[in-house]
Amino acid sequence: MNDPIDEQPEYIPDPEKEKQAKAVHFLVSLMRLLGVVLVMLGLAIALDRLPPVPAPVGYGLILLGLFQLWAVPVLIIRRYIRARVAEEAIAKAAAGPDAP
């Protein structure tokens, strides 16, 4: 890190990895949005805004929406990071023991 800026290697993005990261970001955003929709639907049911549906169904949808809002994105990101780490380890092992 003490190297002058001119001597540091230039970052060259990998288009395939960027495409994967964008797909994961889109999926996480979609899961969060659907979680918010489930929470709102559950609240409407629990507050008797949708009369034919019993309130316990609304409470269940609220819990499912909160899980999808908070836990599912974390699980998706962890799976993506584990795949990237494994991919890099395989690439490093394939390069041989002399590779940095």
Query: Average pLDDT by consecutive 10-residue portion of the chain (100 residues)?
Result: 67 88 96 97 93 93 96 96 91 75
The Cα–Cα gap between 49 and 37 comes to 15
Predicted local distance difference test score (pLDDT) of residue 95: 81
Which residue type occupies 41?
L
Predicted local distance difference test score (pLDDT) of residue 50: 85
Identify whether the C-beta of residue 36 lies closer than 8 Å to the C-beta of residue 65. yes
Predicted local distance difference test score (pLDDT) of residue 9: 75
The Cα–Cα gap between 56 and 38 comes to 14
Residue ranges covered by each domain of the chain: 31-91
Give this prediction's pTM. 0.77
Give alpha helix (H) positions in 1-100: 15-46, 55-95
Identify whether the C-beta of residue 69 lies closer than 8 Å to the C-beta of residue 35. yes
